[in-house]
Amino acid sequence: MALHRAQQDPQTQVVGLVTTLNKGSNETAGHRIKEAVLDRQALQTGLPLRKMWVNEMPDNNEYENELLKIYAQLKNEGIRIVIYGDIFLQDIKTYREDLLHKSGMTAHFPLWQIESGELMNDFMESGFKAITCCIDRGVLDVPLLGRELDTRFLENLPEGVDPAGENGEFHTFCFDGPVFKNAVEFETGKTHYESFDIKSIKQTVTNTFAYIDII
């Protein structure tokens, strides 16, 4: 949706895509999308894809160092603006803006503060299609994994879950819509689970996520 909004803006020229991949697993962080599938998805946008490689579960220093290298490459190529799809999480927006500022660049947020329900209605009405590829088991049940984002899916979300999954309740794989020349062909595979310990000063909380393989 962020790419779509940016491409509709006559003042914006989108020249490429950037994503983060984990070494070893060759998957995107969070979504667990394989590199080969990502390449196929990017191919249908007609935009070149730049890949940033990090270790599995990198610490902040590693992540930021690699990202600053990417920003430096972009700036050397004459690019001054990086587009992000954040909707309302101010701390993440500020984090991105601060890192870009260090690189002498700026951020653009085409979806910022659009109401999530309105955004999802626009998503469906624009012809986008996506499935959930990851869900937080603490808030969603496994039957919602691998489901297409449609009106029925939104109606089945528990109370308090953001319709766009902005709080990390679910992640999606988009396979069709106005940013693609053709729909991305894929199949779904096995479901698997991973647990992560999130530590704070006061406590350690274990979050379990369910993933479905995109093939």
List the domain boundaries for the chain: 1-114, 115-215
Position 112 scores a pLDDT of 98
Please tell me the pTM assigned to this model: 0.92
CATH of segment(s) 1-114: 3.40.50.620
Query: Three-class SS of residue 120?
Result: helix
Mean pLDDT of 6-22: 96
pLDDT, one tens digit per residue, over 125-149 is 999 999 999 999 999 999 999 999 9
pLDDT, one tens digit per residue, over 163-197 is 999 999 999 999 999 999 999 999 999 999 998 77
> For residues 102 and 13, what is the distance between their CA atoms, to the nearest angstrom?
23
Position 198 scores a pLDDT of 67
Question: Which amino acid appears at position 176 of this protein?
Answer: D
Mean pLDDT of 152-157: 95
CB atoms under 10 Å from CB of 140, counted, come to 22
Q: How far apart are the first and last CA of the chain?
A: 23
With pLDDT > 70 as the criterion, what percentage of the chain qualifies?
97
Position 77 scores a pLDDT of 96
Position 185 scores a pLDDT of 96
Residue 199 has pLDDT above 80, yes or no: no
> For residue 54, what pLDDT band results from cuts at 50, 70 and 90?
very high
pLDDT, one tens digit per residue, over 58-117 is 888 999 999 999 999 999 999 999 999 999 999 999 999 999 999 999 999 999 999 999
Residue 206 has pLDDT above 90, yes or no: no
Q: With beta carbons less than 8 A apart as the criterion, state whether 192 and 137 touch.
A: no
* Residue 85 φ then ψ, to 5°: -100, 20
Position 43 scores a pLDDT of 98
Q: What is the mean pLDDT of the chain?
A: 94
